[in-house]
């Protein structure tokens, strides 16, 4: 069991062994990190690791995290498995999610 701290929202929670940061938060009902596909494809769960050891559960899409960003500690929370207690910053935004793109031609009503 490892602890994940998110100082900007004053949250600390526990991740189980082999659980990603995002899965641990979702299991506990947290909302500090945006939740999208939970499979590395949408980028809304982007974080910066401030401290702690971690590994990737699977490769990250370079559409959301470049090699340079990864070197700076940026990652997708749905791919990060803690190996020690960690401190992170939330970087993701729902504005990046394809689900947020409005296509009024596909709907019977338009935004006001
Ligand atoms: S939730 Fe979609 S990339 Fe992490």
- Strand 54-56, strand 86-90: pairing: unpaired
Per-residue pLDDT of 64-104, as tens digits, reads: 999 999 999 999 999 999 999 999 999 977 654 444 444 44
Q: Rounded to an integer, what distance in angstroms lies between the CA atom of residue 38 and that of residue 31?
A: 14
Beta carbons within 10 angstroms of residue 72's beta carbon: 12
Residue with tokens 């590395």: 40
Per-residue pLDDT of 46-63, as tens digits, reads: 999 999 999 999 998 899
Residues in contact with ligand 1 by the CB-under-6-Å rule are 35-38, 40-45, 76, 78
Taking the centre of ligand 1 as the mean of its atom positions, its distance from the CA of residue 57, in whole angstroms, is: 13
H/E stretch holding 71 reads: helix 67-71
> The CATH number of 2-96 is which of 3.90.1640.10, 3.10.20.30, 3.20.20.80, 3.80.30.20?
3.10.20.30
């Amino acid at each position: 069991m490892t602890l994940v701290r998110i100082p900007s929202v004053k949250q600390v929670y526990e991740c189980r062994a082999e659980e990603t940061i995002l899965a641990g938060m979702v299991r506990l009902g947290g909302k500090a990190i945006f939740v999208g596909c939970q499979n590395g494809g949408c980028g809304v769960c982007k974080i910066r690791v401030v401290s702690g050891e971690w590994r990737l559960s699977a490769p990250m899409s370079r559409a959301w995290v470049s090699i340079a960003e990864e070197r700076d500690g940026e990652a997708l929370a749905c791919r990060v498995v803690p190996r020690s207690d960690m401190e992170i910053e939330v970087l993701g935004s729902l504005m990046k999610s394809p689900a947020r793109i409005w296509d009024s031609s596909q709907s019977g009503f338009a935004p006001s």
